[in-house]
Structure 1
């Protein structure tokens, strides 16, 4: 007997700066419908410092089995002091456990991006337009340009799901094996700067 595959989309909003608009759009009909259309069965959300009210309201208004859930197992949490690696790894394929490869959708924080890139599944990065002078737009653009991830548009978030599915077939491994001498002198930060074109 064949068991249905579990396919997870993990979303991280960030633990410090609020990003309520991203959380609201992740829980909106177009994004949830796009997940269902592409075979997702679960949505796991790290909703950040101030997102619990938005998440709880959605859960209250859309109990399990209701149409607004789109047959998705939707779970969330605020903050984990030991990081998000375990949650990110839940998106990795595991044939023996009937888990299909999913995606990670992240705010444009450099720490979250680096962790997600090391997991090796398709990544969608969404910059926060409310933050000033933080280079999130530039960082997101460079990552997408180099083929590391999809640049997500906050107002058209559903479009990022098929783009991430397409990226799966061309995803470059991170970090690349040929990074030059910079990796030895400056560590991972140097790798990030080199790979993303942020060298002086």
Structure 2
């Protein structure tokens, strides 16, 4: 691996249990797709999951590691060349604000899954790619990072001004 640029994929499930994502990203097919795209390392934040990933890769060129929780995942996101995340809004917006390419994997086991609506809307706006555990391989193989558009947070000033006006507070 000497002379090879480190290109890390960071996978996060947040504080949840999302074993289906961990199993999908650890599959031989997804790891092979990541290798084909030039990624060298896979770091999995597995949360409350019970499925334990293997640190041994069937293909020795992909370095795999994992952990359960961290006080902050910002440093891992900053270091990542690609982030694969559950559909939690905190993880999504933290990744987008750091300008990292993102694949959001929707947990279909959640009831009343409003997270999928957020992920699909942001995918429609070309800020990220959206997948399911069973389509992750195809998403990695087909993704074109050049098609992603930077995410710019909205300006809340107009809303604040309206609220202040409504309540009779001074406003600019």
TM-score, normalised by the number of residues in structure 2: 0.84
- Per the TM alignment, residue 152 of structure 1 is displaced from its structure 2 partner at its CA by 1.2
| Structure 2 residue ranges without an equivalent (≥5) | 161-172
Q: Using the alignment, how far apart are the partners of 2:124 and 2:65 within structure 1?
A: 32
**Are 1:75 and 2:74 an aligned pair?**
no
Answer yes or no: is the 8 Å Cα contact 2:77–2:100 preserved in 1: no
Instruction: Please say if 1:87 is aligned against 2:76.
Output: yes
Question: Helix, strand or coil: the match of 1:23?
Answer: helix
Runs of 4+ with >6 A deviation: none
Of structures 1 and 2, the larger Rg is shown by 2
Question: Number of residues paired by the alignment?
Answer: 159
| Cα pair 1:30 1:158 within 8 Å, conserved | yes
Q: What CA distance in whole angstroms lies between the structure 1 residues aligned with 2:26 and 2:141? A: 17
Aligned to 1:13: 13
TM-score of the superposed pair, with normalisation by structure 1? 0.73
Correspondence 1:10-89 to 2 at 5 A = 10-15=10-15, 17-51=16-50, 53-55=51-53, 58-59=54-55, 62=56, 68-81=58-71, 83-89=72-78
5 Å-filtered alignment, 1:1-200, equals 3-15=3-15, 17-51=16-50, 53-55=51-53, 58-59=54-55, 62=56, 68-81=58-71, 83-91=72-80, 102-164=81-143, 166=144, 168-175=145-152, 179=154, 182-185=155-158
Q: Secondary structure at 1:54's aligned position in 2? A: coil
Is the Cα contact below 8 Å between 1:33 and 1:70 reproduced in 2? no
Structure 1 gap segments, 5+ residues each: 92-101, 188-200
